[in-house]
Structure formats: C-alpha cells, structure tokens
A and B are shown apart, each in its own frame.
Chain A
Amino acid sequence: GQQLNQSPQSMFIQEGEDVSMNCTSSSIFNTWLWYKQDPGEGPVLLIALYKAGELTSNGRLTAQFGITRKDSFLNISASIPSDVGIYFCAGFMYSGGGADGLTFGKGTHLIIQP
C-alpha cells in the first residue's frame, strides 16, 4: 500500500515555541487531513486540505497541501500545554473505484516542557 513518512517522530519543546511537522508520500493524494489524538481518545480532525497549494488555518494551526500533492505540513504557533498529544497526517485519494481508504502517517508525539 501507500506509504506516508511523517516527521519528526517526537518533539520536545518549550511552551510558547512554534512547532512544525510534515508528511511525505510515495504517491499523490487529492486530500490531506491532519488529526490530533489525546491520550485515551480517538483522533480528532484539525484541518482538511483539498487542493494542491492550499494553505488553511484553524486558530494557531496552519497546514498546507504541497504543490506536488505528495506532501503536507502542519505548523502550530505559540504552543500551549493543551497542544500536547499525537498528531497524525492522513492522505486520501478518491478514485471512485470503491477501494479507497485513508493512509495514516505514524504520528508526531508533541511534548511541551514547562
């Protein structure tokens, strides 16, 4: 199946710092999604991107759909303690053929040091 490389695997940052993480794919997608998972809960959708080059913000979060359609990044500005969690990218390629699914990256574990 398709492979998504998400990096970094983990980040240790100070409160107030900006965060950047990215995903690259071996093949193209027509949708990129970013999720956050808190301990003991299911992933929650943060941002959805549908168009190559698209830049979308959700509060302190900004994500971009790469021009090549094979990559995406997520930035978090001025991190706060509640940003702690695991962030997943996911790619989707709808072909109408009925065999479509989300491919997930392995996650970036964000840890904020006081």
Chain B
Amino acid sequence: EAQVTQNPRYLITVTGKKLTVTCSQNMNHEYMSWYRQDPGLGLRQIYYSMNVEVTDKGDVPEGYKVSRKEKRNFPLILESPSPNQTSLYFCASSPGQGAGEQFFGPGTRLTVL
C-alpha cells in the first residue's frame, strides 16, 4: 500500500532532550516536507526536500533540523526541544519536483514539558 509513515505517533518529552521523528514514504517520491499544525494557525511548512541531499527552509524552520540521505526517508530532528514546539507534526511527500499534490502521513503529536 502506498503510504507515508511517521514514528512515533505520540511523544511526550522534556525541554532540551533531543528527539527525532522519522518519516518514510514508499512511493519513490522526490519531494518531501514537514509541517506543523497549530490551532488557529493552520498548517505551516517547517522544511522541505526536493531530492536526496537537497533540503531547504520552509516558513517556520527555527529549532528544527532535517536530513535527506535516502529518497524514502526524511527525519525531523529537534536538537533542544522547547514547549513552543508542542504541536501536531505532519510529513508529506509529492511525486513531482515541487510541492504539487502532497500525500500526508498520519501525524505525530508532540508535547514538550
């Protein structure tokens, strides 16, 4: 089944403790992206990647890192999480070179205490 998977689905952590949220897609898509969703603010793009080893900042990149060493994986790294990064995170992928029609993962709900 064609899908985008994220892990973990739920995570509670403490301020400053490094964490990684994994994202994987099995559709051979070139474009991958991370979003955060907050009440009243909608979906905001954190980082995106147009291909392996090509990443770029989205609208809200501060406090996040990403890597794209393989086409299928696009992990989101929070080196030193803070409470304002408590949010619902979505990974997405798209078959084209640009954002285009994006397919979303199921989401990761992160709480930073």
CB atoms of A101 and B103 under 8 A apart:
no
Chain B residue nearest to A40 (CB atoms) is B107
CB atoms of A101 and B107 under 8 A apart:
no
B interface residue count range (under 10 / 10 to 19 / 20 to 34 / 35 or more): 20 to 34
| Closest CB in chain B relative to A48 CB, distance in Å | 5
CB atoms of B104 and A44 under 8 A apart:
yes
Selecting from B14-22, B38-46, B78-86, the interface stretch reads: B38-46
Most buried by B among A43, A48, A92, A96: A43
Q: Which residues of B contact A102 (CB under 8 A)?
A: 33, 45, 99, 102
At the interface, yes or no: A94 with Cβ under 8 Å from chain B?
yes
What secondary structure prevails in chain A residues at the interface with B?
Answer: loop
Q: Which residues of A contact B58 (CB under 8 A)?
A: 101
Distance in angstroms between the alpha carbons of A107 and B92 in the assembled complex: 18
CB atoms of B98 and A100 under 8 A apart:
yes
Distance in angstroms between the alpha carbons of A48 and B90 in the assembled complex: 20
CB atoms of A92 and B100 under 8 A apart:
yes
Distance in angstroms between the alpha carbons of A30 and B43 in the assembled complex: 20
| Interface bits B92-111 vs A (CB < 8 Å: 1, else 0) | 10001111111111110000
At the interface, yes or no: A114 with Cβ under 8 Å from chain B?
no
Q: Which residues of A contact B90 (CB under 8 A)?
A: 42-43
CB atoms of B43 and A43 under 8 A apart:
yes
CB atoms of A101 and B33 under 8 A apart:
yes
Distance in angstroms between the alpha carbons of A53 and B1 in the assembled complex: 34
At the interface, yes or no: A33 with Cβ under 8 Å from chain B?
yes
CB atoms of A92 and B98 under 8 A apart:
yes
Chain B residue nearest to A92 (CB atoms) is B99
Q: Which residues of B contact A106 (CB under 8 A)?
A: 40-42
CB atoms of A42 and B105 under 8 A apart:
yes
- What would be 5 A-B contacts, judged by CB atoms less than 8 Å apart? A31-B100, A48-B101, A88-B43, A102-B99, A104-B43
- A40-B107, A48-B101, A107-B42 known, 7 other contacts, Cβ within 8 Å: A41-B106, A42-B90, A42-B105, A98-B56, A100-B99, A102-B102, A104-B44
